[in-house]
Structure 1
Amino acid sequence: MRATAGATGTRTRVRSHTLVPDRHSWIDIAFTIALAGVAQSAFGTSFTGSTYLVVGLLGTVIAVAVTHLTRAAGWPIISAVVICLVLFFLLGGPLTLRSLGDTYALPGATTLAKVADQAIFGWKDLLTTLPPVDGDGPLLVLPWLSGVLAGLVGLALAHLPVRRAWLAAMLPVVGMTVLLSGAVLLGVRHPQSLLVQGSVFAGLALAWLAVRARRASATVQGGSTSYVRGVGAVAMLGLAAAVAYPASALFTDDDADRAVARNWVEPPFDVGRYPSPLAGFRKYVDLKGKSDPTNVYDKTLLDVEGVPADTRVRFATMDSYDGMVWGATDNALPGPADDSFQRVSSTIDNPVEGKDVQATVTLGEGWTGVWLPTVGALTSMEFETGDTRAKAEVFRYNLATSTAVVPSGMQPGDRYSFSAVVPDDELSETTVGSSELTPLPTGAGFIQGPTDNWTEDAGPDPMDRVLAAAEHLRSEGKYSDGIGRTERIYVAGHSVWRLADEFVNAPQIVGNDEQYAATMALIANDIGVPARVVLGAVVPAGGRVTGKDVSAWVELRAADGSWKTLPTEAFMSTTPPADQVPETNTPMSGTVIPPPNPIPPPSDAGEQSDADLKERKATRKEADEEDEGLIPGLPAWVGIVLTYVGGPLLLVALLLGAVVGLKALRRHRRRSAESPSARFVGAWRELVDHARDLGQVVPLGPTVTRREQSVGIVSGQAVVLARRADSFVFGPAAPEVAAATTYWESIDAERRAMSHEVGRWQRFRAAVSLRSLRRTAAGPAAPADPGQDDEAAPTPATGRVASAAGRLRGLADWRSRRTPD
């Protein structure tokens, strides 16, 4: 309903509380949902499928509906936030955790805890998981959360009362832009679609901004909306966005990666804490009749199905040498793929070309440890036995080295299936070595002299020099596992001492796969061809791999970035050494010399699982707490007090702070009402509410006038302030903004004076009192203006006066109860 005052040229409007959105609301809702959908499309490269977008848009629609309904009902924005939070948890289980077996009934404590955990810490799992993650997994909580936030922020900011028209038009657009930036920040280096996230989003944002600016301008200036100009403006914005997309290619670098949080977050996994599997190579050798429970030479390691014979199965790739062992590390060699062990989902985006295979592996009695045998470059992984969910959670994979790890450990009988791509890794005469030089590790300079001597006739080509050095090792070297009575002097290990003095510089080169592969990789790196060591096996006919099939080979980086296999037989001899010094003069025992600290001994006992490490850490933590308490340097009772007393006190403080904040928000809304009349009404109600919080008996109701209320307020200026409010609200002309500001200053001064008349405890009780927040019948008001506060809605004011004697008795009783300061 609209009423126009011809004498003053002003018009007032009673705010409608209909649940059906008007034309302006429909426009804001449509733009909010559209921009939210574009913003959430940034997750396209992070999730598989399109479920993430459906869940995110559903969250946006729900949040938009809740925000509009609460606003139509006249509730504060905090109510929309609370309702959206409740719906986020109630619907989060069925929508995002259904893959974990949750039902569509009311969620329990476990489901709610899982939703909260993913909402708080899911971003870390997303950034440390190799994209794309499972589109039906628990990380769907993140799109669900972003959708709810998008709907709540977009529509709430669209209807936020702001004095400046340009700021009111810009706020919701800025809010949606921030959400897009957050989605991009959590995404990957290469965007899903520059056209959608750039041009389409910019076009929609500018169109919404133009519509809102035009609407605000028409409201302020009293103009009318021109549909022709509006359509023309939208068309021009669309044309500008279409031209901007191809033009941007002239000013951008296609090779430059955008800044995303994934570049700055280190995956919470350190593969370096696990011993190098190459150091334990001698458990795969033939003991020639001797007994050793750790030896698996004749035991079944794994049964492989789905791959042809002679396929190479990779146990682990060692790409870093520290002077003691070749080990697996993160970011050891440069390359196009991420050289780090990351979480992966059931589907792995592995950009490798080759032959597709589907394989199933069953671990045999001889297999233990954390390394997971695989073939080629994985594109999917599925565990089929044991606690499959737990194994999938801790599973880590390195794209650059094609190495898989299960930190909780794998046991005999475990079964898993995977799909992979087997690349063409055969080394040919036309293969050109990479020119990316990698510096030799500290202490490995001993290899330079032998390398120069063995390759002086090979020419300048790096790959020719590598093959010449391999041929020298194969032709001049001898093979020994150090098992025979006269061969015990050839100990295990591949430290600098073992490879220098006891291998390449010894009178006779003698060793097994461990020493030959370690030395060959150092030689290739010294020549200028990046190399790494791989431990694995060649699948025999029938697919059963035993310990005797295990070998170590070297992979060389080609000029195109791919890795080519230098097989073991290309650089290792199979001829046994000649008889050496008799056993009585042997200066060394046949025991295996383990690497010195901090490198663990080459045995399976050193391959501790995550569960073992966590158990030891928990035991150590409990012992420390018994000695020092929960907080270092303080007694144990201090930590207990902080835990069981500090928590409830903090909760109470938050609740009381929320009450104070709601009152401050209410005061701000009243002070910043659009019409000056509404500001006068809000100022008086602020004084009335303050008196009620102080415990004063103030008459309320639709028939009570301001002057009647002033009698019930214990204040020297209440009567004067009530008359001033009536004179401006019901005066012949609309009040000025400056007059409203002066009136608010007088109200604030009177509120302070009333507070000083009571004690500190009563002031505190008034600050956190809920009395003024309770809904009461509307009091005296003024003719409403467009957009005024709900509390300023017009109500009839009669002149009914209550009994003065009874009111004075109430004031006398209140004065007798108040506490002196």
Structure 2
Amino acid sequence: MSAARRPAGVDRLWPTLVSVLLVMAMLAAAMIPWWPIYESAAFVVASSAAIVAGTAIAVAGAKFGWPAWAVVIAVFGTYLVLGVPAAVPSRAVVGVIPTPQGIVELLTGAALSWKQLVTIAVPVGSYQTLLVPPFLLALVAATSAVTIALRSRRPAAAVIPPAVLLLAGIALGVVHAALAIETGLAFLITAVAWLVRVAIANRREITSGRPVELALADARRVLGASAIVAVALVGATAASVTLPMPPRSVVRAELQPPFEPRAHESPLAGFRTAFDPEVARDAMLEVRGLPPGAGIRIATLDTYDGIVYTVGGADGTAESGRFTRVPYRLDQTAVRGESTELDVLVRGYSDVWVPGIGQLERITFAGERAELLADAFVYNDVTGTGAVQVGLEALDRYTAQSVVPVEPESLARLQPGTSVLPPAPELPKELAVLLDEWAPASDDEGERLQGVIAALQREGFVSHGLESDQVPSRSGHSLDRLVELATERPMVGDGEQYAVAAALMARQIGFPARVVVGYLPDPGDPLPEPGESTVFDSDDRQAWIEVQTAEGAWVSVDPNPEPRPIPEREPDEPTIVSRPQSALPPPAERTPVDDLDSDPELALDRGDDGTEPWVEALLGALAITGFVVLGLAVLVSPFLAIIVAKLRRRRLRRLAPSAVERIEGGWQEFADTAADYGYAIRPTATRAEQAATVGGLAPLVLASVVDRAVFAPDGPSDGDDARVWSAVDELQDRLAAPRSRRERILAAISLTSLGGYAVTRRGPKP
């Protein structure tokens, strides 16, 4: 391109300098949405280096007339030379000299860091290669924009690369309105300034003479552009104040988190295993820095389906189920509390959940697996629960800096918060009766909560039911177990039942409440001296609740009674049935024949057939036994008929003529078993929906296998039917294992799965 066609005149210093500075101003404004992602000085260095380097390449290309391929090579070379110290500073020697490993990570980061950037919690600082996206985009955008400004026939198009950079920052950024107005104003002003500069330059090229008219025309353009900017600012401000704005959706909000909490067993489901005599005294964690008397949380559970308390909502869509990576730090300035630093050494503890306290700000792992754990750590800031997908092991160490909310002085003064939790089943009427008794509806919410906690601690007794000398106590926290807790006297259970009962009653009062599983120090142990560590054994595991106050803080409440001797069980009150007195009839008149019958000698002479007395007794006993057996058979026959019908249905399904029918029959057998155990299995639901109703990973896997086998173009593979039935048998055993003998018998004779039963090889009609 000739010098005459260059809008700013590359050979003229001041016009070129003005054009370059205006374009760089647009690029700087376009980088503002990227700041909330990083919030680090390293980001400022990386973006500034990219803009300056790209501008220098474009100016040199325009000055010396480089072809396009030469500009591309220059960009790539600059990316390799500056990329490591600017975008991957941890891999640069003395922060300047690139290392071979740094160059490899830089090149791979150009392709892989984008996805990582939108699946990680912000701010990310200079973590790994996450500065590569803004550095690379800014370098390319600066080179393109300045090249267009200095060499193109349409220099106004130099607005496009900064606009793309701006949109990328908005799309990859976070969902909040911080800096939104400032960003829009900055980019609008710089873009309008550049367009005015282009218009003035074009007018000067096509107009000759009359300098006064030129100056007036330029002034009109500047004033007109300023008026447009002012109108846009006023309109945008008025719209933002008066009109309801829909929530902004960005890429980060649409991607699924890498950690799926529903794939892991709830910490409350295996609560009793921690108290097994073989492991009860095993050391789990060694913690230094805990506040006096405080415990440590394993996980916070907010979802209850009537059977088990879990994390993250029934379908995984709740905010508490979205775990993201935390490479740098979290902003917890909105949390009112005390800053705490914990040093944790893992001893016997082994699980994916990372114990902590309060709201996490920063976590640093140490030990041989430090890098692996740092890469695998994910966190949910809604519940304050952390996890590592690879699981913690013995000798793992980490330091966690957290903000611990201030505990209230009295529960009676609390007012409920406004958080919306996943729905929970209706409070059983037995617990509702106790709630009305312990906390009358006429009292304030805080007073009712205090009354419930005090009553549980007063009326309840603790037993894990694992040793022979302990009072029997059934495990589990399903609704029927809570009903048993509420109706038995004395009330016997442990943290698994008391925490869930307290959470449901607190929610009935109006408090958002969730269950916390963790470790609490033994009340009888002395408090550690400053600098000393606290060792939590396996039997220090406990469950308690958190309730949200009107200030938005989640405060811990322990509803568990103090361990103490358990009194004898109160006998059930007998039912008194009043009956009217029966009138005795007058004695019958005796006759001479009756007198003869009373004479034993005459009785022997009359009607003696010579039968031995023991034979008569045996025949009488056999007759009575026969009548009893016959009566029992009549009573049991309907239940036996149900069991026989189910066995025949199972046999027909398992021996169906085709593999597809046998596989479908296997799934129907599992679904019928689940329905008999009380799961709400809808016949019209898909297999995946039925599996989700049962819960757990194994039913979902089986449903997927059955769907793939049934709908595969080539049909199922050899042996698929046998494998499906083997999985069905295993799932049936797992459904029956946690239930009592009475519950298993009731399921065996349940008519739920026999509705619409027809004698076909495939079992019940759909």
Judge same fold: TM > 0.5, yes or no: yes
Structure 1 residue 385: deviation in Å? Answer: 1.5
Partner of 2:29: helix, strand, or coil? helix
Aligned: 1:522 with 2:522? no
Aligned: 1:198 with 2:177? no
Partner of 1:419: helix, strand, or coil? strand
CA root-mean-square deviation:
4.1
The answer for the alignment partner of 2:59 in structure 1 is: 68
The answer for the alignment partner of 1:261 in structure 2 is: 251
Q: Note if contact 2:30-2:183 (Cα within 8 Å) is conserved in structure 1.
A: yes
Deviations 1:231-290 (A, max 9, x none): 7755775687578657744331499554433332332221221211122222433x5xx4
Partner of 1:277: helix, strand, or coil? coil
Aligned: 1:39 with 2:39? no
Q: Note if contact 1:443-1:496 (Cα within 8 Å) is conserved in structure 2.
A: no
Normalized against structure 2, the TM-score is what? 0.65
Distance 1:170 1:339, change over 3 A: farther
Question: Which of 236, 248, 251 does residue 239 from structure 2 map onto?
Answer: 251
The answer for the alignment partner of 1:93 in structure 2 is: 84
Partner of 2:386: helix, strand, or coil? strand
Residue identity opposite 1:300 in structure 2 = A
Q: Note if contact 1:53-1:143 (Cα within 8 Å) is conserved in structure 2.
A: no
Question: Which of 265, 268, 290 does residue 278 from structure 1 map onto?
Answer: 268
Distance 1:308 1:524, change over 3 A: closer
The answer for the alignment partner of 1:298 in structure 2 is: 281
Structure 1 residue 566: deviation in Å? Answer: 1.4
Q: Note if contact 2:8-2:150 (Cα within 8 Å) is conserved in structure 1.
A: no
Deviations 1:353-376 (A, max 9, x none): 344434242324322212222122
Aligned: 1:214 with 2:200? yes
Question: Which of 445, 469, 477 does residue 462 from structure 1 map onto?
Answer: 445
Question: Which of 536, 544, 562 does residue 553 from structure 1 map onto?
Answer: 544
Q: Note if contact 2:461-2:563 (Cα within 8 Å) is conserved in structure 1.
A: yes
Q: Within 5 Å, which residues of 2 pair with 1:310-321?
A: 310-321=293-304
Distance 1:355 1:487, change over 3 A: same
Partner of 1:84: helix, strand, or coil? helix
Distance 1:411 1:234, change over 3 A: farther
Question: Which of 184, 191, 197 does residue 170 from structure 2 map onto?
Answer: 184
Deviations 1:687-746 (A, max 9, x none): xxxxxxxxxxxxxxxxxxxxxxxxxxxxxxxxxxxxxxxxxxxxxxxxxxxxxxxxxxxx
Cα separation, 1, equivalents of 2:473 and 2:71: 76
Question: Which of 404, 409, 430 does residue 413 from structure 2 map onto?
Answer: 430
Q: Within 5 Å, which residues of 2 pair with 1:461-480?
A: 461-480=444-463
Distance 1:258 1:415, change over 3 A: same
Residue identity opposite 1:129 in structure 2 = I
Partner of 2:164: helix, strand, or coil? helix
Q: Note if contact 2:482-2:497 (Cα within 8 Å) is conserved in structure 1.
A: yes
Distance 1:532 1:247, change over 3 A: same
Residue identity opposite 2:552 in structure 1 = G
Structure 1 residue 205: deviation in Å? Answer: 0.9
Question: Which of 544, 548, 551 does residue 534 from structure 2 map onto?
Answer: 544
Deviations 1:621-676 (A, max 9, x none): xxx9xxx9xx999xxxxxxxxxxxxxxxxxxxxxxxxxxxxxxxxxxxxxxxxxxx
Distance 1:477 1:191, change over 3 A: closer
Normalized against structure 1, the TM-score is what? 0.61
Q: Note if contact 1:323-1:441 (Cα within 8 Å) is conserved in structure 2.
A: yes
Cα separation, 1, equivalents of 2:398 and 2:102: 28
Structure 1 residue 431: deviation in Å? Answer: 0.7
Q: Note if contact 2:473-2:493 (Cα within 8 Å) is conserved in structure 1.
A: yes
Question: Which of 130, 133, 139 does residue 142 from structure 1 map onto?
Answer: 133
Q: Within 5 Å, which residues of 2 pair with 1:788-803?
A: none
Q: Within 5 Å, which residues of 2 pair with 1:589-600?
A: none
Question: Which of 388, 396, 403 does residue 421 from structure 1 map onto?
Answer: 403
Q: Within 5 Å, which residues of 2 pair with 1:14-25?
A: 22-25=13-16
Structure 1 residue 123: deviation in Å? Answer: 2.9
Cα separation, 1, equivalents of 2:286 and 2:5: 79
The answer for the alignment partner of 1:173 in structure 2 is: 159
When structure 1 is superposed on structure 2, of 543-552 and 408-417 the one drifting more is 543-552
Cα separation, 1, equivalents of 2:248 and 2:48: 26
Residue identity opposite 1:562 in structure 2 = A
Cα separation, 2, equivalents of 1:632 and 1:67: 57
Deviations 1:485-519 (A, max 9, x none): 2647423222233333x323445532111111112
Q: Note if contact 1:397-1:404 (Cα within 8 Å) is conserved in structure 2.
A: yes
Residue identity opposite 2:293 in structure 1 = D
The answer for the alignment partner of 2:616 in structure 1 is: none
When structure 1 is superposed on structure 2, of 444-453 and 539-548 the one drifting more is 444-453
Deviations 1:460-503 (A, max 9, x none): 53333333333333333322110232647423222233333x32
Cα separation, 2, equivalents of 1:119 and 1:632: 40
Cα separation, 1, equivalents of 2:317 and 2:443: 24
Q: Note if contact 1:458-1:468 (Cα within 8 Å) is conserved in structure 2.
A: no
Unaligned runs of 5+ in 2: 522-526, 572-672, 676-696, 715-766
Residue identity opposite 1:478 in structure 2 = F
Question: Which of 117, 122, 128 does residue 126 from structure 1 map onto?
Answer: 117
Cα separation, 1, equivalents of 2:219 and 2:139: 30
Distance 1:86 1:229, change over 3 A: same
When structure 1 is superposed on structure 2, of 522-531 and 338-347 the one drifting more is 338-347
Distance 1:478 1:13, change over 3 A: closer
